[in-house]
Amino acid sequence: MRFDKLIHYLKLDKQEFLFQFNSHPNYPSALAFSDTLNFMGLKNDAYELEKQYWDELPDEFIAIVNNSFSLVKKTGNNYSVYSDKVKNLNKNELHSNSSDFILLFEKNENTETKSANNIKPIIYIALGLIILYSLLNQTWYESIFNILSLIGLYISLEIFSQKFGNTSTVIGSICGDTSANQNVNSCNKIINQDKTSILGLKFSDFSLIYFTGITLLGLFLPTTAYIIKGFTLVSILAIGYSLYVQAFVEKTFCRVCLLIIAILVAQLLISTILFDNLFLETKTLLLSLILWIIVFASTLYVNNILQDKEKLQKSNAKNLRFKRNYDLFKRELTENEKISFTDNQTFSLGNKDGKLHIAIVSNPYCGFCKDAHKILEDILKKYPNEISAQIRFNYTTERSNEKYTNLISDFVNIYKNKSQNKFMEAVEDWFENKSEERINQKSNRGTATEDLTPIIEMSKENANSGLNFTPIFLINGHQFPEKYDRDDIWFFIDELLEDEEL
C-alpha cells in the first residue's frame, strides 16, 4: 500500500510514517492509518459519512479512494486526490470510487520532519564541483563526456535508491509515476522485475558502478583516455543485452533504460572519435583497476547493508504489531496490583479531573529519570486537558544530605508560589543542568525553610508499596509493565484515554 503524494503533501517523514503504519497491530486498517497520523502529530477524527453530506466537509479531508488512503482537496468544482500519485476527479467520479469512510484532520505546520540522513545536497554539491572542474580544466569534448557521465550516474543513483522503496521524481518524470504498482509501466517492468543477480547486484546496479568509475576516471583525462575508451567499447555488450531484454524478453521499452543507452552511445562516439590514443602506462592501468575494485566493493557493501536494513525493518514492523497490541499491553498492565495513594495532590500536574492519571516515582539525582520526566512533560503538553499527573520524589531525612533537602525545598516553593509551567520548567532545568544554584534562584526561597512533611509522607507511601527503584511510571495506579520500554506509552495513550474499564 503506497501513498507517497499524500505523505509528501502532509509534510510527514515518509520512512517514519511507513514504519509506524506497518508496525501497527491493526495494519493495514483505517484505525492503523488514523493512529499513525495521530502519532506523527496530525490530529484526526474518523467518521462514516454518506456521500450526500460530503458537500459540507472542509476543503481538505482524507478518504479511501480506489481502495487507497487519499487526501482529497477541493479545487473549484473538481477534486485533487493525493495518494500514490495526484489525480483530478469530478464529484461523481470521487463519489463512485470512494467508500463512506473519511478522516477530518487538523493540519499543523510543525508536523514536518526532515530525514537526518538526507545526503542529496552533498551529492548535488559534488556533481556541481565535478562539472565546474571539467569546464575550467578540460577540453570541450572531455567536459561533455564528463557531464554525460554525471547524468548517467545521477539516474543510476535514483534507480538504486528506488530499489529500496524511495520514490524518484526524476524517474517518475521520465517514465511516468513509478510509485504505482502497475504492470503497464514499462520502467517498473524492466527495472523492478530485473532477474539478473551477480553477488546480489542487479543489472541496474552495474550501471551505477560503471558511471561511478567512468566519472572518476574522467577527472584525469586525457591521461585515462585509453582506459575509458576500452570501457566504452565494453559497454556495447551492456547496450546489446539491455535492448535484447526489452525487445524480446519483456517486449516493452523502458524510457529511462533508453536514455542510459543514449548516454552510452554518445560517450562511445566521443571517446572513439575525439580521444587521443595516448600510451597506456602500467601505473595508470593498475590505479584504474584498483579504482574499479573499490567502486564495485563499495556498491556491493552498501547494497548488502541496505538490503539487511530493509529486512530488519520489515521484521521489526511485524514484531512491533504484537508489542503495540493494546489488549496485550492492558493485560500486562493490569496484572500488576493496583496501588492507591492517600496523597495525590503534592506535585500534582495537568488536569486534576482527567480520567487518566500518570504518576512518576523518581529521584532528582537518578541518572535515568531525566528521560522519564521528558516523556511525562511531553505527554502533558500534548494532552493538557485529558491527563492528570503527579511527580512522587523519593525523599527521606535519614538518607538525604543538605543539598538534597534544599533542592526539594526549592521545588516545593516553586510549586506553591508559581504556575505549573514554571514548576515543570524548573524540573526540566534541573535534569538538564544539575545545578542547585539555578533552581534556588528560580525559587527565590533564600534561607527560608519549607514544610517537607508531605514529601516525606509521600516517600513513605512509595516505600510501603515497594516503589524503591526509580524511575517508575504508574498508570491509574498500575505499575507500567517491565516488558515495555517507557516511551512505548505513546503507542497506547489514545486507547488508554478511551478505556472505560481503567
pLDDT tens digit string along 91-114? 888 888 888 888 888 765 544 444
Q: Which H or E run includes 350?
A: strand 348-350
3-class secondary-structure state, position 365: coil
CA distances to 242, 418, 427 from 438, in Å: 70, 16, 11
Q: 76: burial class by Cβ within 10 Å (0-12, 13-18, 19+)?
A: exposed
For residue 118, what pLDDT band results from cuts at 50, 70 and 90? low
pLDDT over threshold 80, residue 178 = no
Span 122-139, average pLDDT: 88
Which of 186-190, 279-283, 457-461 is the least confident region? 186-190
CA distances to 40, 127, 166, 291, 488 from 212, in Å: 38, 11, 21, 10, 43
Give dist(CA 109, CA 41) in Å, integer: 10
CA distances to 202, 294, 315, 394 from 300, in Å: 10, 10, 22, 55
pLDDT the model gives residue 116: 40
Angle of CA points 246, 248, 251, to nearest 5°:
60
For residue 150, what pLDDT band results from cuts at 50, 70 and 90? very high
pLDDT the model gives residue 377: 92
Mind listing the domains of the chain with CATH numbers? 4-111 (3.90.70.10), 120-311 (1.20.1440.130), 337-498 (3.40.30.10)
Start-end of H helices in 275-344: 282-323, 326-335
3-class secondary-structure state, position 353: coil
Whole-number average pLDDT of the chain:
83
For residues 253 and 262, is the Cβ–Cβ distance under 8 A? Answer: no
For residues 162 and 143, is the Cβ–Cβ distance under 8 A? Answer: no
Query: For the chain, how big is the Rg over CA atoms in Å?
Result: 31
Q: Looking at the DSSP assignment, which residues form a beta bridge with residue 201?
A: 198
The residue with cell 506497518 is 22
pLDDT over threshold 90, residue 181 = no
Span 128-153, average pLDDT: 91
Give dist(CA 208, CA 205) in Å, integer: 5
Stronger pLDDT, 348 or 13, i.e. the higher one? 348
pLDDT the model gives residue 358: 92
Grid cell in block for residue 298: 563499495
pLDDT the model gives residue 192: 63
Cis peptide before 222 (omega within 30 of 0): yes
Q: Write the single-letter amino acid at 11.
A: K
Nearest 5°: phi and psi at 79? Answer: -130, 135
Span 364-378, average pLDDT: 88
pLDDT the model gives residue 463: 87
Beta-carbon-side half-sphere exposure of residue 345 (alpha carbons within 13 Å): 4
The residue with cell 512505548 is 488
pLDDT the model gives residue 360: 92
Grid cell in block for residue 241: 543485452
> For a pLDDT cut of 70, what percent of the chain falls above it?
90
For residues 347 and 393, is the Cβ–Cβ distance under 8 A? Answer: yes
Grid cell in block for residue 270: 566521443
pLDDT the model gives residue 132: 92
Question: DSSP for 66-111?
Answer: TTEEEEEEEETTEEEEESSSEEEEEHHHHHHTEEEEEEEE---GGG
Of 99, 48, 57, 104, which is closest to residue 79 (Cα–Cα)? Answer: 57
Which of 198-202, 213-217, 292-296 is the least confident region? 198-202
pLDDT the model gives residue 190: 65
Which of 167-171, 221-225, 286-290 is the least confident region? 167-171
Span 8-35, average pLDDT: 79
Cis peptide before 364 (omega within 30 of 0): no
pLDDT the model gives residue 182: 41
Q: Which H or E run includes 478?
A: strand 478-479
pLDDT the model gives residue 269: 93
3-class secondary-structure state, position 26: coil
Q: Which among 241-245, 290-294, 394-398 has the top mean pLDDT? A: 290-294
The number of angstroms, rounded, from the C-alpha of 432 to the middle of its chain's C-alpha atoms is 26
pLDDT the model gives residue 388: 92
Nearest 5°: phi and psi at 280? Answer: -85, 115
Total-model pTM? 0.58
CA distances to 71, 112, 163, 231, 315 from 8, in Å: 11, 9, 19, 40, 25
Beta-carbon-side half-sphere exposure of residue 452 (alpha carbons within 13 Å): 20
pLDDT over threshold 80, residue 405 = yes
Q: Write the single-letter amino acid at 58.
A: P
pLDDT the model gives residue 180: 40
Q: Which among 26-30, 100-104, 277-281 has the top mean pLDDT? A: 100-104
Q: Write the single-letter amino acid at 379.
A: I
The number of angstroms, rounded, from the C-alpha of 105 to the middle of its chain's C-alpha atoms is 20
Q: Looking at the DSSP assignment, which residues form a beta bridge with residue 345?
A: none
Angle of CA points 392, 395, 400, to nearest 5°:
155
Give dist(CA 266, CA 258) in Å, integer: 12
For residue 283, what pLDDT band results from cuts at 50, 70 and 90? confident
3-class secondary-structure state, position 114: coil
> E strands along 187-253, which residues?
none
> In sequence order, which residues have a C-beta less than 8 Å from that of residue 244 and are 6 or more positions away?
none
Stronger pLDDT, 118 or 174, i.e. the higher one? 174
Of 473, 381, 372, which is closest to residue 420 (Cα–Cα)? Answer: 381
